[in-house]
Amino acid sequence: MQLWYNQLMTKTQTQILTLIATLPLEERRELVEHMYDANMFGASFYDRMTPEQRTELEESIAQADRGEVVPSDQVFNQLAQKLGFSRA
């Protein structure tokens, strides 16, 4: 079986992914969930954030929770205008 990832990975990695691809979808999902729960993927995106980035993210979430938001159409219109695009 020729897979897209075999040129980017070691032979062992390719063999592992080829074997996983033979599993039924539900078993693949369970395997990924187990690997995630066991922290086999390394640090999460949140774990890699700096304390300042976490603080900014948490404040942004709190603002959204309080309803302090801007309608998406307004944001996209402003962005389109800034970049010289038309949103027609």
Each domain of the chain, given as residue ranges in start order, spans 4-37, 45-83
Q: Give the pLDDT band of residue 2 (cuts 50, 70, 90).
A: very low
pLDDT score of 4: 53
> What does the pLDDT look like over 27-79, one tens digit per residue?
999 998 888 777 777 777 777 888 999 999 999 999 999 999 988 889 888 88
Q: Are 49 and 34 in contact (CB under 8 A)?
A: no
